[in-house]
């Protein structure tokens, strides 16, 4: 079976969040199955070029037509863990400081999505499955089914579209329908909603199979609260939508082997965790105390991650004997508020406004409690990563958080609150703090949390079943 993943990010080449992690680990796991040829296609961002160009092989250039434009498309290649990575080069589109958030994101990812399809003929590589991810590559599914499906090699390709986060749907003005995206008129109803192009809607309509990243989120997006105007589209297409929980790369996130942390440790011997805690307190200029719990947040600082619950609860939290460490970037209102608070409470709170994988691992390893109070959470990887490092999650019961963390059962692996409000969140944190004060109970919990299986094995099998069914 030949599978081509199309994505706007994959670690280590590019990442702004969970999508990059998934594209690092899922293809690797799928590759374990014999007879699978797994390849990935990514944009060649400035970041990727600066760091990796010497390990990439230039294999040629072609042009990609996008409505009336004919754009240069260089193709680079490398093989990593047995997986072929292709990189689409066009400096005009991708030599930018950020992956997204540019005024012309629609055009940049329309170009990339078109390139995904066009380079198949250049490479003479026609996959059995095109697996596209999120709005940035949603158009590749649309192009495949609307503009290429009459062509010999293309007509047998099946498409899978994964929604990693329904909060980002790729909405653009209707006026770009022909002029920029170059879509065909008879696909207008499938792609547009109201006065807007909605690329995720188009991909849901055209994909042969649609997945999202947890069972609970798959159910949640059937409701208006989660999917808004796309509620009807989700329900009409539900027969082909399934929820497959993400795993994490247990080699990349391993307290036993991670070279980015100060001391390695395992669930059998967690002594090293205390060393990491001291180092972390040092890095964050916090008092070096073994006895005080560290609560950390590693997140995009956006509304749906529940950051307003955290800001509303900060004054109460800061009255407790607790150190708080926050890492992430996002909305300036949250960034500014958190920075201000950390200046006022610099002996208790440290805020790092950045995306930093190495620092994130030091925080996961050195903290005690990991807070993730999301309003919506398709899957969430951070709660699983924190667990691997023995940092006990406190989460809100939604999406993938509900599917991975349980409090009221024999296999308790964290603290869970249901309603989205400060009171419930604080009460869950208090339950964690009470348990923290009982050292034996806490250490047992830490060990148990570290041993939970969050690997990709089961989920990769489910993806393989989905691919096989389509073929
Ligand atoms: C997005 C979602 C997150 C999910 C990740 C990978 O970042 O917000 O919940 O874990 O994608 O699927």
Peptide bond into 12 cis (omega under 30): yes
Contact assessment for residue 77 and residue 87, using Cβ atoms and an 8 Å cutoff:
yes
Residue nearest to atom 3 of ligand 1 (CA): 380
Distance 449 CA to ligand 1 centre (A): 21
Q: Is 381 in the pocket of ligand 1 (CB under 6 A)?
A: yes
Which atom of ligand 1 has the smallest separation from the CA of 304?
8
Q: Is 213 in the pocket of ligand 1 (CB under 6 A)?
A: yes
Check residue 390 and report its DSSP letter: T
Distance 462 CA to ligand 1 centre (A): 18
Which atom of ligand 1 has the smallest separation from the CA of 246?
12
Residue nearest to atom 8 of ligand 1 (CA): 165
Burial 106-133 (b: 16+ CB within 10 A, else e): bbbbbbbbbbbbbbbebbebbbbbbbbb
Residue 114 CB contacts under 8 Å (≥ 6 apart), including other chains: 64, 65, 66, 139, 140, 143, 182
10 Å Cβ neighbour count for 247? 22
Q: Is 3 in the pocket of ligand 1 (CB under 6 A)?
A: no
Which atom of ligand 1 has the smallest separation from the CA of 378?
9
Mutate which of 246, 375, 393 for ligand 1 pocket (most atoms within 8 A of beta carbon): 246
Q: Is 23 in the pocket of ligand 1 (CB under 6 A)?
A: no
* Residue 34: predicted pLDDT: 74
Distance 328 CA to ligand 1 centre (A): 15
User: CA–CA separation, 393 vs 416, rounded Å?
Assistant: 8
Task: Show the low-confidence residues of the chain (pLDDT under 50).
Answer: none
Please report, for residues 29, 253, 286, 368, 429, the alpha-carbon distance to residue 385 in angstroms, rounded to integers and kept in the order given. 17, 7, 23, 13, 19
| Ranges in the chain annotated CATH 3.40.50.2000 | 2-247+457-470, 271-451
Please report, for residues 210, 417, 452, the alpha-carbon distance to residue 431 in angstroms, rounded to integers and kept in the order given. 38, 11, 21
* Residue 4: predicted pLDDT: 98
Question: Angle formed by the axes of helices 422-436 and 307-317, to 10°?
Answer: 60
Mutate which of 7, 165, 215 for ligand 1 pocket (most atoms within 8 A of beta carbon): 165
Q: Is 244 in the pocket of ligand 1 (CB under 6 A)?
A: no
**Is 324 buried (19+), middle (13-18) or exposed (0-12) by CB count in 10 A?**
buried
Residue nearest to atom 6 of ligand 1 (CA): 18
Residue 342 CB contacts under 8 Å (≥ 6 apart), including other chains: 326, 349, 350, 351
- Whole-model pTM: value is 0.94
* Residue 35: predicted pLDDT: 86
* Residue 467: predicted pLDDT: 97
CATH 3.10.129.10 corresponds to the domain 2-247+457-470: no
Q: What is the pLDDT of residues 431-457, one digit of tens each?
A: 999 999 999 999 999 999 999 999 999
Report which of 169, 84, 95, 94 is spatially closest to residue 119, judged by C-alpha positions.
Answer: 84
Q: Is 165 in the pocket of ligand 1 (CB under 6 A)?
A: yes
CATH 3.40.50.2000 corresponds to the domain 271-451: yes
Which atom of ligand 1 has the smallest separation from the CA of 22?
6
* Residue 33: predicted pLDDT: 81
Gyration radius of the chain's alpha carbons: 23
* Partners of 61 in beta bridges: 74
Q: Is 164 in the pocket of ligand 1 (CB under 6 A)?
A: yes
* Residue 408: predicted pLDDT: 84
């Amino acid at each position: 079976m030949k599978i081509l993943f199309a994505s706007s990010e994959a670690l280590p080449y590019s990442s702004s969040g969970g999508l990059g992690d998934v594209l690092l680990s899922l293809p690797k796991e799928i590759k374990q199955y014999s007879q699978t040829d797994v390849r990935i296609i990514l944009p060649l961002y400035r970041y990727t070029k600066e760091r990796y160009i010497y390990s990439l092989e230039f294999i040629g250039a072609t042009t990609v037509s996008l409505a009336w434009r004919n754009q240069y498309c260089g193709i680079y290649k490398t093989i990593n863990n047995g997986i072929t990575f292709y990189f689409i080069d066009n400096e005009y589109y991708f030599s930018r400081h950020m992956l997204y958030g540019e005024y012309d994101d629609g055009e940049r990812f329309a170009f990339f999505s078109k390139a995904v399809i066009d380079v198949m003929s250049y490479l003479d590589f026609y996959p059995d499955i095109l697996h596209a991810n999120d709005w940035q590559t949603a158009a590749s599914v649309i192009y495949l089914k609307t503009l290429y499906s009459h062509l010999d090699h293309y007509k047998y390709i099946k498409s899978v579209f994964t929604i990693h986060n329904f909060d980002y749907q790729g909405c653009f003005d209707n006026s770009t329908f022909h002029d920029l995206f170059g879509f065909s008129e008879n696909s207008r109803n499938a792609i547009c909603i109201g006065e807007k192009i909605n690329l995720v809607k188009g991909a849901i309509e055209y994909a042969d199979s649609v997945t999202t990243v947890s069972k609970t989120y798959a159910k949640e997006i059937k409701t208006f609260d989660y999917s808004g105007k796309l509620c009807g589209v989700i329900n009409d297409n539900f027969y082909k939508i399934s929820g497959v929980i993400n795993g994490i790369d247990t080699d990349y996130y391993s307290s036993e082997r991670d070279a980015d942390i100060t001391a390695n440790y395992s669930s059998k011997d967690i002594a090293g965790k205390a060393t990491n805690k001291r180092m972390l307190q040092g890095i964050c200029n916090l008092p070096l105390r073994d006895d005080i719990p560290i609560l950390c947040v590693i997140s995009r600082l956006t509304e749906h991650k529940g950051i307003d619950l955290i800001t509303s609860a900060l004054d109460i939290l800061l009255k407790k004997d607790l150190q708080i460490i926050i890492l992430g970037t996002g909305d300036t209102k949250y960034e500014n508020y958190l920075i201000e608070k950390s200046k006022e409470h610099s002996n208790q709170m440290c805020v790092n406004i950045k995306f930093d994988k190495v620092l994130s691992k030091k925080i996961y390893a050195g903290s005690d409690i990991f807070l993730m109070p999301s309003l919506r959470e398709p899957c969430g990887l951070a709660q699983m990563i924190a667990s691997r490092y023995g940092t006990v999650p406190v989460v809100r019961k939604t999406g993938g958080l509900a599917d991975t963390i349980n409090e009221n059962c024999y296999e308790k692996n964290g603290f869970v609150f249901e309603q989205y409000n400060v009171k419930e969140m604080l009460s869950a944190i208090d339950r964690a703090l009470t348990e923290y004060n009982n050292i034996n109970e806490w250490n047992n919990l830490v060990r148990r949390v570290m041993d939970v299986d969050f690997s990709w094995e089961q989920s990769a099998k489910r993806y393989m079943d989905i691919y096989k069914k389509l073929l």
